[in-house]
Amino acid sequence: MPKRFPSQGSGFPSLEGGDRAPGAGSSGSGSDGQGDGGLQAELDPSGLLDAFSDFLAHGRGYSGHTVRNYVSDLAQFLKYLQENESGRAVEDVDAFVLRGFLASRYGRNRKVSLGRKLSALRTFYQFLIRQGRAKANPASLLSMPRKERTLPAFLTVDDAFRVVEAPGQDDFFGLRDRAMLELLYGCGLRASELTGLDLEDVRLDLQAVRVTGKGKKERIVPFGKKAREALEKYLEARAAARAAAGALEAGDDKALFLNCRGSRLSTRSLARRLDLHLRACGLQGQASPHALRHSFATHLLDAGADLRSIQELLGHASLSTTQRYTHLSIDRLMEVYDRAHPRAKAEKKAKRKGQREPEVEG
């Protein structure tokens, strides 16, 4: 029987609330609560959902989070067909039926969720066409709902520094958390990208990390001296902890960031640890792991980095996704305009002159 990581009495305190193994206790966040296995079995006796799930995971390389959401969206659609189009095969559905399904969700889901459901249906009918079960894709006839313009949440530079430097440096978990936060903010990683890192993905000599993003696309992201120092300290503590614990389960030796049981840290545990440090800084509820990614992009843009470079670092497929960060810097751009543009200078000069001239009594 393999030994466990040392407990609190051995200098390795358990996490508050405890770390969970990847996926433990997960209810499919973002799936509108319709991803229940019993519901899927009832609506899908032919195993269509399972086949679609395999296609998404292995044929498209989608993340587990996306697969769960798409399968849940399809389960909702099958339930709608059963209740409103009884006897109609899913292969015979037209665009009007799909529009009716999306209309039935209007008001219960945000526009971004409705857009995801339409994407799931488009992908599903592409899958059916590849299987020879459908001749056309009715979902391709529908337009995506206009996205709500929401500005991403981000921290100020000072607050980001405070959060990253919040973890203590006197135990395994403090050293681990410091290294994680340095990479989150220093590289702009997604939570799943960070927890998915393996030891072989990090090159301390090059100060760069290989990241596997959405669609299994890889990119190389550099990191700074502070992150390298934090990683060096954590890796030393990690090696010592593993040596003290003995042999662990197969595969756990690959993961970069480990939980208290010596297995790969989950995204939920990452969020809990970040929240712990936010509370310590008096910033509870003001940030999430993704907010540190937004902060990374916003601070780079404010410092003069071009959008194309930020797009590459973030791993965005489209530049339009990166362009939303320009809205966060509009105030800074207006200040630059006021200081630099000759017309703005002339207007300011005229205002100052008008303020100095006293009114002439008639």
Please confirm, yes or no, whether 261 is among the known catalytic residues. no
- Identified catalytic residue from 68, 117, 238, 293: 293
Q: Which of 65, 79, 214, 242 is catalytic?
A: 214
Tokens matching residue 269: 């545990």
Report the alpha-carbon distance of residue 271 to residue 289 in Å, rounded: 6
Handedness of CA 260, 223, 231, 12 (dihedral sign): negative
Kindly name the residue from 60, 242, 316, 324 that is annotated as catalytic. 316
The helix (run of H) or strand (run of E) holding residue 209 is: strand 208-212
The set of residues, in sequence order, having a beta carbon less than 8 Å from that of 58 and lying 6+ positions away, is none
Q: Per-residue DSSP letters for 45-80?
A: TT-HHHHHHHIIIIIS---HHHHHHHHHHHHHHHHH
325 included as an active-site residue: yes
Give the count of beta carbons closer than 10 Å to the beta carbon of residue 96.
11
Selected catalytic residue, list 70, 80, 234, 325: 325
Active site (annotated) includes residue 146: no
Active-site hit among 190, 268, 294, 299: 190
SS3 44: coil
Per DSSP, 264 falls in state: B
Catalytic choice (233, 242, 290, 324): 290
| Cα 108 off chain centre by | 23
125: annotated active-site residue? no
Residue with tokens 């993704």: 290
Sort 123 into a burial class: Cβ within 10 Å, 0-12 / 13-18 / 19+. Answer: buried
Q: What is the 3-state secondary structure (H, E, C) of 122-188?
A: HHHHHHHHHCCCCCCCHHHHCCCCCCCCCCCCCCCHHHHHHHHCCCCCCCHHHHHHHHHHHHHHHHC
* Helix H or strand E segment including 193: helix 191-195
Q: Is 277 a catalytic residue?
A: no
Query: Are the C-beta atoms of residues 324 and 345 closer than 8 Å to each other?
Result: no
Catalytic residue check, 290? yes
Active site residues: 190, 214, 290, 293, 316, 325
